């Protein structure tokens, strides 16, 4: 359990790294960001297709598909509500905190996904954590930018983002406890985690990468899928 919580903490703290990187350099090359986001999408997609969903389907295909739909719909509805809230934001500080709230709501189920992946194989939990960590870096930038422009001190931003980073290992701990208390819930949870990751790929990472550079995102996607394919079959 301790090792899984450590890698979940490392993934969560990548949000803090993203905020710190923004302070060092505010203008990041669009091509580099597109490759970053495409890489995270590729790693997540490969994990879902090669590890999470096949294992969940073998346990209980009905629960796996139900969980997949539930996870996807949950994040879709949540983000629709969040988008409405963002439209009503009056200030940069308000915008920054709404983005932080949205990311916090994502981080809890993402942490659970790390726990579920580690239940299959230690490597699966690690690659899920890697993908989450990679996409947490631009999320940290997205939080810090409006807060910084809104006049919040850098140290205060870093402190708040640090607290946010702890939500990922909290989700991992919750996932481990649920699996221990209710073993039969495993295919549901794996399906839900797959649905959440599918939403992040299709509705966030891939479109955001395309807005940065529609060609460069394919480079990142190919690298991400190749890494997980090699790790799975070699």
Domain ranges of the chain: 2-233
Tens-digit pLDDT profile for residues 6-32: 999 999 999 999 889 878 866 667 888
In this structure, of 49-58, 64-73, 115-124, 163-172, the range with the lowest mean pLDDT score is 115-124
pLDDT of residue 108: 81
- The contacts of residue 24 (CB under 8 Å, 6+ apart) are none
- Using one digit for the tens of pLDDT, what is the confidence trace for 34-79? 887 888 788 778 878 887 788 789 888 999 999 999 989 988 887 7
- The residue with tokens 């999470």 is 52
pLDDT above 90 covers what percent of the chain?
Answer: 21
Distance, in Å, from the CA atom of 86 to the CA atom of 68, rounded to the nearest integer, reads: 27
Is pTM, for the whole model, over 0.85?
no
User: Exposed/middle/buried for 186, CB within 10 Å: 0-12, 13-18, 19+?
Assistant: buried
């Amino acid at each position: 359990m301790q090792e899984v919580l450590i890698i979940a903490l490392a993934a969560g703290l990548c949000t803090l790294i993203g905020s710190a990187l923004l302070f060092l350099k505010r203008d990041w090359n669009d091509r580099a960001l597109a490759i970053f986001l495409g890489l995270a999408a590729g790693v997540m997609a490969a994990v879902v297709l090669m590890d999470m969903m096949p294992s969940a389907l073998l346990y209980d295909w009905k629960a796996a598909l139900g969980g997949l739909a539930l996870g996807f719909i949950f994040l879709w509805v949540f983000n629709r509500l969040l988008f409405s809230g963002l439209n009503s934001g009056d200030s940069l500080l308000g915008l920054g905190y709404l983005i932080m709230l949205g990311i916090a709501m994502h981080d809890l189920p993402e942490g659970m996904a790390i726990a579920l992946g580690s239940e299959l194989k230690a490597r699966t939990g690690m690659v899920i954590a890697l993908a989450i960590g990679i996409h947490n870096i631009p999320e940290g930038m997205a939080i810090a930018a409006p807060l910084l422009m809104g006049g919040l001190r850098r140290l205060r931003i870093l402190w708040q983002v640090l607290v946010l980073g702890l939500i990922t290992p909290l989700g991992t701990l919750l996932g481990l406890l649920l699996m221990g208390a209710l073993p039969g819930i495993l295919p549901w949870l794996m399906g839900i985690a797959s649905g959440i990751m599918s939403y992040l790929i299709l509705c966030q990472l891939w479109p955001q990468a395309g807005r940065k550079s529609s060609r460069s995102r394919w480079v990142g996607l190919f690298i991400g899928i190749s890494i997980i394919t090699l790790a799975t079959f070699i």
